[in-house]
Amino acid sequence: MTAAQSNECNIPFNPEFCSISNDVLTSNYTYKNTIVTKDTETSKISIKPIEQNYKFKLNLNVPKTGIMLVGFGGNNGSTFLSSILANKHNISFNNKEGLQQPNYLGSMTQSSTIKLGIDNKGNDIFVPFNSILPLVNPNDLIVTGWDINSANLAECIERSQVLEYDLQSKLKPYMKDFIPLKSIYYPDFIAMNQYDRANNCLNEIPSDHQTGKKEFNIKNKWNDVEMIRADIRKFKNDNKLDNVIVLWTANTERCVPIIEGINDTKENILNAIKENHEEIAPSTIFATAAILEHTPYINGSPQNTFVPGLIELAEANDSLIAGDDFKSGQTKLKSVLTQYLVDAGIKPLSIASYNHLGNNDGLNLSSHKQFRSKEISKSSVIDDCIESNDILYPKDAIVEGGKPVDHCIVIKYMKAVGDSKVAMDEYYSELMLGGHNRISVHNVCEDSLLATPLIIDLVIMTEFFSRLSYKKIDENGIEDNTETYDNVYPVLAFLSYWLKAPLTRKGFKPINSLNRQRQALENLFRLLIGLPANDELRFEERLI
């Protein structure tokens, strides 16, 4: 029995709009929106409803999937593997509160529900998110990855100090045989305080026996691409995988400038790699290798890996990409609080965010260039919310080059707090008649235990989108091509829910509002099983 056959009878679908045949779910959907035009002189608003018919096709067979993490031995990578093994082998453990059972709390796909409808009394009916359509079970993921440090994963969980001691002890026998593949290290892109960790690098030059100083070859970057490609192929073949996903959870790199003739087109970026250009970063190498192998690539750090040339390369190769930067604690809360204030007609004037943490990510971010990458990704999360309200923020009242909200972000490294990141935020807003409102939030979070569920969700949903295709149907009900379906666009904007600075299609602004991002995912799952987009009009109780 295939995965799809075991799930087919459990898929709740509306036969008026959907059908299942040969392990394929086919869905018809009419997308509706409104084109709005505003006369700049009279301010008169005109509206024009539009409709577009689509047919979606989803392969219900869940493939055998592998995940390759860049930064496998770091806090996130080692915690990710720990979570998979603890749940797969049902490893219980003790902490000061008593016996604990493994779980996937914090994962939207594994631990959240979705409203399916109502019962005959008008009560909401919620079902697990992962019960709607077949998704990869995280316990079944095959895991490996690269790291610039050679420590095995049993040593890594001890070094990271994220997990309870009892759980570490029980996991170590399972983890000691996981050894990171050799990675790539170009010293200019991450903080020099990471230099001593770099002892497991493909591009390391044998050290001078007299000085003992390590040196790294940065003059054969195309060879580095080919070696990473070979690693991906070997992992896929050795484990007989149907699908492999590569995800960057390594140190934050500094941002790179967009340079005409270097990284602005797919041809230029490939040539720049072959010519060993100084602005080709390790993340560029990994992303290029994955794209050329038609392997999805996710950027979980804030650097601008996806320069225009790489996005164009992904489009040309029809390879899925997503980024940038995991949206876990402080920034996720900020997207919700800012939306609440602006939607309530309250005007945020300033948002001050202060963080301190003591893990290796914090150590790397203590370097200004790497911090700047993080600052950019964190600051953009309020942009679309602010732009949505020109009553509070009239566009003609913002001085050119100025910012509608004074938004300050500070990150400091403090070794003592370890992985327990401390975030303190102040939202200072204007009220009516000269009044003001101040909201202060103190948030202590275990960084890797928030980030790891995001990795799980990103991997599961990326695999899901690799099975989804669609085609347009014209207003007369005629399909563009009865046989050909298009894959979803390579830039997976649907994954924005988990990312601070989401990529989107050229010409479209990203959506950062957490509620709108979640709504898009819920409604996609609903349309695939033949249900309309969810709304909360609730006429059954308001109009009776």
Tell me the catalytic residues: 325, 374, 421, 500
- Rounded-to-integer distance, Cα 140 and Cα 66, Å: 9
- Which residues have C-beta within 8 Å of that of residue 527, sequence separation ≥ 6? 27, 29, 56, 533
Instruction: List, as one string, the DSSP characters of 392-429.
Output: TS-GGGSPTT--SSEEEEEEEE-GGGTTEEEEEEEEEE
259-267 contacts at long range (C-beta below 8 A, 24 or more positions apart): 262/309, 263/307, 263/308, 263/309, 263/310, 264/307, 264/308, 264/309, 265/308, 265/309, 265/312, 266/309, 266/310, 266/312, 266/313, 266/316, 267/309
Tokens of 264: 């602005």
Cis peptide bond prior to 324, omega within 30° of 0: yes
- Which residues have C-beta within 8 Å of that of residue 323, sequence separation ≥ 6? 298, 299, 300, 305, 306, 499, 501, 502, 503
Q: Which residue has the tokens 């392969």?
A: 59
- Rounded-to-integer distance, Cα 330 and Cα 106, Å: 14
- Rounded-to-integer distance, Cα 149 and Cα 183, Å: 8
- Rounded-to-integer distance, Cα 30 and Cα 54, Å: 6
Give the side-chain half-sphere CA count within 13 A for 44: 3
- Rounded-to-integer distance, Cα 252 and Cα 455, Å: 16
Which residues in 10-77 belong to E strands, given as ranges? 18-21, 24-38, 45-59, 65-70
Please name the amino acid found at residue 194.
Q
3-state secondary structure of 535: coil
Tokens of 405: 């909200």
Burial class (CB within 10 angstroms; exposed 0-12, middle 13-18, buried 19+) of 97? exposed
Tokens of 456: 């799980």
What is the number of other CB atoms lying within 10 angstroms of the CB of residue 74?
A: 28
Q: Which residue has the tokens 């492999």?
A: 244
Give the side-chain half-sphere CA count within 13 A for 24: 10
Give the side-chain half-sphere CA count within 13 A for 494: 22
Task: For residue 358, give Cα distances in angstroms to 75, 412, 421, 422.
Answer: 12, 9, 7, 10
